[in-house]
Structure 1
């Protein structure tokens, strides 16, 4: 028994006092018991997707037919998109694409902001030209033996 006390004395520490250790343990347990609360409000996690809740096997369906509308509302709200749930983005990652509606309504008659594709005689000729030309990179249009190298 004297050997552990000698080891602690060599290191510059006081030997462990069993009474003090028990007092620390009692104080720790007392603080934990004061903060401990009994939780009795149980419900299904609305953020976990579940297809259906099965009824109890010993209860007939007509006995417990009352549905909890608040729980159903919570489930529907949890399945909404973030833009419909919250007014502002909750994280910085949600900021990108949060406001996806265009700032200006598109007016096709306004010539300042609308530049439709126009077709002139030259573009019509080029379109017809490229329609009839085979693509050089298309392997299906090559003749047999055309693309192979012989040694």
Structure 2
């Protein structure tokens, strides 16, 4: 994910893209400046620079065991405190389904934050073809009254 290279984000700087001139002499931008993959609107809120290191993509965890959750905060990140960690289930061609809130609090994220989740997924939410992921609701130094959402990579849960 792209983010600004400065500590403070500002709505007053000018962001430009490379340009291209076609055969008719018309000039156009080579990248759409409103493309959220290039500069996500959440970056204005200070929501960048927080990576979910664990669980890793494609890992398999056993029901009843503990899952290591680890967040790494970049020194330029404006994210401040972790408020909530939720578990979601994702089945292909279906809307992701909330499973449970696994942690709530107000814990400052200095450089890293680690948590062990004891996997206790209700049996009606356990599905072999499903992928699971965590979402993280955090505060930002930039927007005191708003929160940011981050998510982990997909992983599997087996019985």
Q: Please say whether Structure 1 and Structure 2 have the same fold, judged by a TM-score greater than 0.5.
A: no
Higher-Rg structure is 1
TM class by shorter-chain length? Answer: under 0.3
The structure with the greater share of residues assigned to strand is 2
Q: TM-score, normalised by structure 2?
A: 0.22
Q: Which structure carries more relative contact order (alpha carbon 8 Å, separation 6+)? A: 2
Q: TM-score, normalised by structure 1?
A: 0.22
